[in-house]
Amino acid sequence: MVNLLTLSQNKLLFKKRILITRTKEQAKGLFKLLKTHGAIPISFPTIQIAPPTDWQRVDHAIENLSAYEVIIFTSVNGVKNFFHRLKEKGKDKVLLGKLKICAIGPQTARELRRVGLQVDLIPSQYQAESILEALAKSGIKGKHFLLPRAEEAREILPEGIKKLGGYIEVVPVYRTVKPEADAQKVKELFRQNLIDVITFTSSSTVKNFVAFFSEMEIAHIVSQVVIASIGPITAQTAFKLGIKSNIIAEEYTIVGLVKAIIKYFNPEIKEV
């Protein structure tokens, strides 16, 4: 397998104009990686992270952390906002000492380690279905789970845990909202065919992207650009909204997404 750093010397995405729809804060890593490979990243955040509608359920869970055996984090934002609230309530991370900690993927795990916690479980594939499968191996029935997540998210995980006899408390620690943004500059770039690839890194980025455009504009956009989705769930959301993904990363991470884009434009490279 070829190292991404080695490939970067060849500028395999030279002058490819790639639209990034992540939040400004989280776009930095993708922006830097694409630039390293010769691409021209264009930032157009379609989501913004906001506090939940209210903190009541989160606060109740924080006050009763000893009642849970497993805590599951499904995003970096979930980690950041949960621990921000924990600190605001005057509590310490040591309260999680006896809980088994599960992270959906390496970026989420990295954020948990950054706040000083050891991660006990990362599934082989970075999606809810794989978390459920991994948890089932050690037993779910009778156990109590805590899931700090976005207000709007798929119900696969909580429903699956309940079906297998577990108890789960879902607490919204953030919500994704459509930012106030001027889409005219980006629309002009599309009109002039100056964007080669659009990257989607979550279902929310797709939904809010579509909200900036008319149906006619979306039809024109998808006819002229390459659509790159971070994984099958994001690609499925895009498809439901009339956007077919040309690229679906096999590894559901930012690095995996960049690898998939490189392979798409450089089919002679068998492994990245």
How far is Cα 147 from Cα 172, in angstroms, rounded to an integer?
8
Q: In this predicted model, which residue has the larger pLDDT, 182 or 86?
A: 86
The arithmetic mean of pLDDT across residues 238-244, rounded, is 95
| In the predicted structure, residue 5 carries a pLDDT above the cut 90 | no
Look at residue 97 and tell me if it is in a domain: yes
Residue 154 confidence (pLDDT): 86
162 and 62 within one domain: yes
Confidence bin at 4 (pLDDT 50/70/90): low
What average pLDDT score do residues 127-148 get?
A: 94
- Domain presence at residue 271: no
Compute the distance between CA of residue 119 and CA of residue 122 in angstroms, rounded to an integer: 8
Supply the mean pLDDT for the chain. Answer: 92
State the Cα–Cα distance between residues 212 and 135, nearest whole angstrom: 39
- Convert the pLDDT of each residue in 156-200 to its tens digit: 999 999 999 999 999 999 999 999 888 999 999 999 999 999 999
Question: What is the pLDDT, as a whole number, of residue 82?
Answer: 97
Could you tell me if 8 and 57 lie in one domain? no
Residue 216 falls within a domain, yes or no? yes
Determine the pLDDT at residue 137.
Answer: 92
In this structure, the answer to whether residues 151 and 243 fall within a common structural domain is no
Q: Considering only 10-14, 156-160, 172-176, 227-231, which range has the smallest mean pLDDT?
A: 10-14
User: Which residue from 181, 180, 200, 198 is spatially nearest to 189, judged by alpha carbons?
Assistant: 198
Q: Which residues pair with 101 in a beta bridge?
A: 71
Q: Based on the fold, state whether residues 77 and 171 are members of the same structural domain.
A: yes
The whole-number pLDDT of residue 7 equals 53
Query: pLDDT by residue (tens digit) across 15-63?
Result: 999 999 999 888 999 999 999 999 999 999 999 999 999 999 999 999 9
What's the domain count of the chain?
2
pLDDT recorded at residue 26: 86
Indicate if the pLDDT at residue 101 is higher than 70. yes
Question: Are 102 and 17 in a shared domain?
Answer: no
DSSP letter, residue 259: H
pLDDT at 6 over 90: no
- Say if residue 139 is in the same domain as residue 88: yes
Residue range(s) defining the domain that contains residue 253 = 4-47+179-265
What is the Cα–Cα distance from 38 to 36, expressed in whole angstroms? Answer: 6
Band of residue 272 on the pLDDT scale cut at 50, 70, 90: low
* CATH number for the domain that contains residue 236: 3.40.50.10090
Determine contact, residues 116/87, Cβ cutoff 8 Å.
no
